[in-house]
Amino acid sequence: MYSEKVMDHFEHPRNVGEIEGASGVGTVGNAKCGDIMRIYFDIDDNQIIQDVKFKTFGCGAAVATSSMATELVKGKSVQEALEVTNKAVMEALDGLPPVKVHCSLLAEEAIHAALWDYAQKNGIKIEGLEKPKSDIGEEEVEEEY
């Protein structure tokens, strides 16, 4: 059911925890399944994500997608992080079962929420970033697996 990469990121998640005085914090959830994901960014003056941590309450796929999402944005610019999609997270994990695709969407939205928080705190606009939703429902998942 799950790829080896999903199992690895679930059993040995990367970047777990929180960042004290984070540059940006994003929290999103899915009321239907109960998953809650929070991502913390430490962003330097050059808009590079120096550190990233996460805390997730949810199923194994939610933990795995959070872990992989942090790996995909660490060391990247704010703009590059914005371009990380749920599809990229799923591909990096060698796929997810169709019923767990929404977990990858949570990861993408948590990244956007943390970037939004960073932009708000710093009074800047990040090109292409829209105000994130806090509740991510299955109806927003594209049917492309």
DSSP 12-59: S-SSBS--TT-SEEEEEE-TTT--EEEEEEEE-TTSBEEEEEEEEES-
Predicted pLDDT of residue 144: 43
Dihedral angle sign, alpha carbons of residues 107, 72, 100, 108:
positive
Q: Give me the residue spans of the domains in the chain.
A: 4-122
- Cα–Cα dist 52/41, whole Å: 5
Q: List the chain pLDDT tens, one digit each, 145 residues.
A: 899 999 999 999 999 999 999 999 999 998 888 899 999 999 999 999 999 999 999 999 999 999 999 999 999 999 999 999 999 999 999 999 999 998 999 999 999 999 999 999 999 999 999 888 766 665 544 444 3
Predicted pLDDT of residue 141: 46
Task: Please give the backbone phi and psi of residue 88, each rounded to the nearest 5 degrees, phi first.
Answer: -65, -40
Residues 101 and 86: beta-carbon distance below 8 Å: yes
Q: What pTM value is reported for the model?
A: 0.90
Q: Is CATH 3.90.1010.10 the classification given to domain 4-122?
A: yes
Q: How far is CA 27 from CA 14, 36, 75, 82, 83, in A?
A: 18, 7, 21, 16, 18
Active site members: 33, 103
Predicted pLDDT of residue 29: 92
- Cα–Cα dist 38/20, whole Å: 13
